[in-house]
Structure 1
Amino acid sequence: MLVFLFTNFLNEDIFLSLRLDAIGKVDEPLKNRSLSEFREISENSKIYVILPSNNITIFDLELPLLKESKLRPVIMYALEDEIAEPVINLHFCYSKEFYFDEKFLVAIIQKHLMQELQSKLLSHSIKYDLITSSWFALNIGESCVIDDTILINEKNFKGSIDLDLLESHSKYFTLDSQPLVFKDTKNYPEGTKLIHCDDRGLEWVAKRIFNNRVVNFCQGEFYYVPKQHLTNNYAKISAYLGAFWIISLILTDVINIFVLNTQLKKYTDKISVIYKEFFPKSSQVISPKFRVGQILKESGASSSNNFWDIINKFTNSIYLNSATELVKVSEMRYKNKSLVVKITLNNFTNLEQIEKNLKSSGAVYKKLNINDESGKLVVSMEISS
């Protein structure tokens, strides 16, 4: 839903407003409301603040389409000679949606009016979505009468004129369109054909702006974003970051699973080759742990747990060694709950590291034999748990 707040008579007590439903029909009529009544109809709705057209001046300004950082100062000083008031006191409003035939449509309003309006809205804690003018209800080639003012959007003139001054301005332009008048219109332009509309003037403005593009005056130094929009933006950003985080976790897990599967296949292939050497008649590779367990049972061992415990401690002692690549296991025998291994090392430092690792794991070990073969250290040791 969309609430329109008209600033014609905005004061501490009166809020002239109406509300349109999702398809642009009036579901809360145009009337003066108290602040509490206005808050009631604007709850969970967007709020458009509509300035009367006699507060603004409209220009068609021929300019190339520049970057935003250059566009605002260029517009200001391009219109400096067209305006009696110093440009520093004026707020220039435009939108690239209104750029046609290399011309910008520029709406100008005095800065103090924008400052007063925004301050008043802030003091009432009214979180509005945009500020614009009733003039933007007009399509090209149209005019209408709102209160005592005629709004005009024609090729030779854009803006608004008090009805009392319309005749005196006739020497500068000719009104080509037939003005729209409404059921609450009291004063009519003389000497011209009129088009009658059954809506009230500001109701018609609201319905038109509901469907039309407008220039939002909340730009430049008067830029404003409602707090609820910021909250929505923060919520969206949080949701996006959360989704990105979850996707990252899933992607990381997928990559890890792929790497693990690749490594598993590599080791499975190696195990298969070794397995075939020990069990050449086997038609398929059965878990080596299962095979070893069977052999241990056949040899009379009451349990294979002791064997795997010793193997685990021994292999960890090798892998915890800083020079793992220099350790070669050439023989391994298991008997009477002890594991006898024969390993080739580079030096005594590596042997001391392995012994230290075995000791820290709680394994019991003793060296059976140490030989020097071709500059390498060959060690036989017995390990038990």
Structure 2
Amino acid sequence: MTSALFSPLALGPVTLSNRIAIAPMCMYSSDDGTPSDWHIQHWSQFALSGAAMITFEATGVERRGRITHGCLGLYSDANEAAIAAKLAIARRWALPSAVFGIQLAHAGRKASTRLPWMGGGSLAADEDPWPTIAPSAIPFAPGWQVPEALDEAGIEVLIGHFVSSAKRAERAGLDFVEIHGAHGYLLHEFLSPISNRREDRYGGSLENRMRLIVEVTRAVRAALPETMFVGVRLSASEWTASGFEIDEAVEVASALKEAGAVYICASSGGNVHDAHIPLKPLYQTHLAEAIQSRAGISTRAVGLITKPTEAEAIVAEGRADMVALARAILADPRWPWRAAAELGARLPVALPYERSLPTMRHWVSPAG
């Protein structure tokens, strides 16, 4: 029987060779937005993984849009040149069908924070903090910096930053751009009535709250050639009764499709510091399923998907068009090889590594 997970999928001008994506994951290993040598091995191991779709981490469209001092950026010539050079190295090892993209982001009120392994939270005065921005002057959590509320002139500048970074992504040789509208960062902050208390055309009704992310998506799509595609990541639930939830996310996804997005990565949470999120395997898959069926756009399911049989079922049952791996691919960069062995699929691997395949098949066999 043919594996659904290893079947092709058309996304705009590109046909993916399988339905396995690598989700964007912050590495906190850049210098003023410029990727370091860490990224050479990191991107190269993803290139060798067999995943059809590789999305680089949340990438600031301006310096103050970074989450931490270590976050990737695409706002300077130095950022662009280093990304292009390191991407070229990764492509040397990738399957010809692999596509590489970058997630363009602005951290908003969650910017200017410590590295996670340094405790997170807002940078102190002696840690080189920078001012943050948001739709409204509401801090993310107690003890966090109070952000400046963007005015409409600032919003226009912000849209320009997304467009400029998208053009840099094109010049760097990437295949697609993903716009980050999730996890409590700036575009998500505009979507949520919890963080957006504006009374102008960017606040109040859902039509107004979604205006910015739709405008960003439309502008980015217009700035890129038709050979590149655009997707969006949404937090489709804030896991609180008063927040942005799936019914609104479906409407937003429909508007983003009209603006030129070809897929939605359905994540959740991040904008409410004390939300009770039911973390368990596949806990977000129902969000991808709802958006796919009700908005008529391809979706990427993500969230504690670790077993090949789980990923296969998600695609085979039509709950999402793709699955995205995060922690699972960090733990096992050969996860797609193992999935192919377990599901009886054919996945080309780098020729020097082909002799490992019998071992992989042995590991997943009932006798193994």
Q: Using CA pairs under 8 Å that are at least 6 residues apart, name the structure with larger relative contact order, 1 or 2.
A: 2
- The structure whose Rg is larger is 1
Using the size of structure 1 for normalisation, the TM-score is: 0.21
Counting strand residues as a fraction of each chain, which structure ranks higher?
1
TM-score, length-normalised on structure 2? Answer: 0.22
